[in-house]
Amino acid sequence: MKKFFSTLMTWLDRLRRILINGFFVLLLRSVRVVITADQTSVPDDAALVINPVGKIVEELELPSSALVPSGLNVSAPNQTRLHDLIATIRYAANDSRIRLIVLKLDQMDATSLPKLQEIRLAIEDFKKSEKMVIAVGPNYSQSQYYLAATADQIFLNPLGAVAISGFAVYRNYFKDLLSLLHIDIQLFKAGEYKSAAEPLVRNSMSDADQKSNKQMLEVLWAEYKDDLAKMRAIKPERMQTVLDQPSKYLAQHGNSLADLAKAEGLVDTLADDGNIESYISGAMGYPSGDYPSIDFKGYMSAVNGEGVIEHKDRIGIITASGMILDGKQPPGTVGGESMQAMLEQARKDTNIKAVVIRVDSPGGSAQASEVIRAAVKRLKASGKPVVVSMGSVAASGGYWLAAPADEIWALPTTITGSIGAFGVLANAGKGLSKLGIHSDGLGTTAVAAGIRGDRPLPDELGKVMQLSIDFIYQRFLTIVSEGRNIPKAKVAELAEGRVWTGLDAHRLGLVDSLGSFDDAVASAAKRANLETYSKEWIQQPMGLRELLLVEIFGNADSYFSGIFYAMESKLLALTGISLPAQSIQHAAKLAEMVGLSDRAPSVFTICNVEVTP
């Protein structure tokens, strides 16, 4: 009887929660309907203001906090989805209601060159419709200016600046600090160029890392300058000369950065906001200065579903963006099980005839990467073409999962490769002994002590770690050799943990073709013999709490699916071997101790590519 009532109360409690949550969903939906009932339509003869906010991302990431018992406390990070921007610009090109585009870029964060190049292609297609593009801004960062350079007219505030400085890779190195703290770092790696742990074991950049970074930076900088030469007829040699001696040329223009920018052809007109508005309204035929306009998000919402022709045959799009981790993970990271489920969904859906995997990841867990790779192979075996489109970065684990694809596309400035493996452990035993804390004990085997943060790693366990990393490295070489049909000996020459630009990767055979995401989709359609098709973005299934977030943010494309998945580990031994909880905690404390907590994604990544634009 007691068990019966206990079970009854459990089910009543569950029913109560379902009813309360269901009511909450209905309430949010009602509020959303009221808010959007009077939604602004697209005005005729309007200016479309492209005003991206924050980071440009492949996939919208998690809010900073979740739904908690104490109340609803969700704030989304500032970010703009790359493919929303591109789709909006392309749609506006054929929308008779849109007269021109105004690029207002002052709230856009630094953005990788591959993403900028994809947006540029969409803007250039828009201009083919014989519609004007105007760029406005008080200042332009290097990323912002790249997009501004696509415009027919670029305006700059008379007190503003165009802050182009080139590309750089600089890091902090902590060997001496860790020595002062009596913390020993044990590094295991396979690959001469695998440099992610260098900041923990060196005081400066190694020769191998300098060589790799130099080649990468030269390609990125050459592409940036060449693109500006095409868009603004600015000679690369002249830009290099001015940036190598900026004070000299600034002095020639009365120390005005704005005047220097205009003299060098970077901008067309120096004007304040009022004059800029007058120019735009005049260009649109509104002498009064008041012209109709709609911003990017408003336009995207207003045209949602307009003119959409649904075809039975579809190309599935799956995004792999962020660090690769084991298990189920939320958007903004790549979960092995999460990706596997989406690939299986694509495999079983008879309407999906081909799949494009958009990879934008520096790598992570080899185990998770292998789970995804196996799912890609099963998808291929079903007869459906699989094409990979590489975004900003598709390195190490990102390349591992891409290797078996029928075809790999990348942009010339994509960072890829990094075929190698490593792991790093920290030992604070010496530091603890200085504080009078000592570790001692005994075990039944030579490896029984395990991985501890308070004592050195047993010699035998250290050998096992290195042998495991060697095994993973050889496995990686085999995967690339089989997937790309390159002799393993040749792969070994290209590996060693070295990163390559898409341009070099294409030359070396690691990438099949150079082109945009749209090029990859077109290739997938050709492989599947599709003349007409729809694109279907395959996303993780939403639970009740994710549905709540959809209602809160008001756009299914903006949901943060999987927000409540527990992160099984915060840091990985980036060989694919998850560290025991104690070691993970110790590594996290170490990162916090030496000021790396905010840098964890760059210090503890498989690729460790930090390019400052």
For the annotated catalytic residues, the residue numbers are 194, 396
Mapped onto helix, strand or coil, the DSSP state of residue 189 is strand
Q: Which residue has the tokens 């600090």?
A: 177
H or E element that contains 136:
strand 132-136
- The DSSP symbol for 169 reads -
| Distance from C-alpha of 613 to C-alpha of 610, rounded to nearest angstrom | 9
* Backbone CA torsion sign across 457, 459, 464, 465: positive
Q: Which residue has the tokens 């506006």?
A: 92
Given a contact cutoff of 8 angstroms between Cβ atoms, the answer to whether 352 and 346 are in contact is: yes
Given a contact cutoff of 8 angstroms between Cβ atoms, the answer to whether 145 and 165 are in contact is: no
Quote helix, strand, coil % in the chain, to nearest 5. Answer: 45, 15, 40
* Backbone CA torsion sign across 587, 591, 593, 598: negative
Bridge partners (DSSP) of residue 149 are: none
Side-chain-facing half-sphere of 391: CA atoms under 13 Å:
25
Burial of 581 (0-12, 13-18, 19+ CB in 10 A): exposed
| Distance from C-alpha of 85 to C-alpha of 104, rounded to nearest angstrom | 13
Task: Write the DSSP string, 254-308.
Answer: TT-HHHHHHHTTS-SEE--HHHHHHHHHHHTT-TTS---EEEHHHHHHHTTTTT-
Q: Which residue has the tokens 């007109």?
A: 269
Bridge partners (DSSP) of residue 345 are: none
Task: Write the DSSP string, 403-420.
Answer: TTSSEEEE-TT-EEE---
Residues 6+ apart with CB under 8 A from 56: 79, 80, 81, 82, 85, 108, 109, 111, 115, 119
Q: How many residues does the chain have?
A: 613
Given a contact cutoff of 8 angstroms between Cβ atoms, the answer to whether 182 and 431 are in contact is: yes
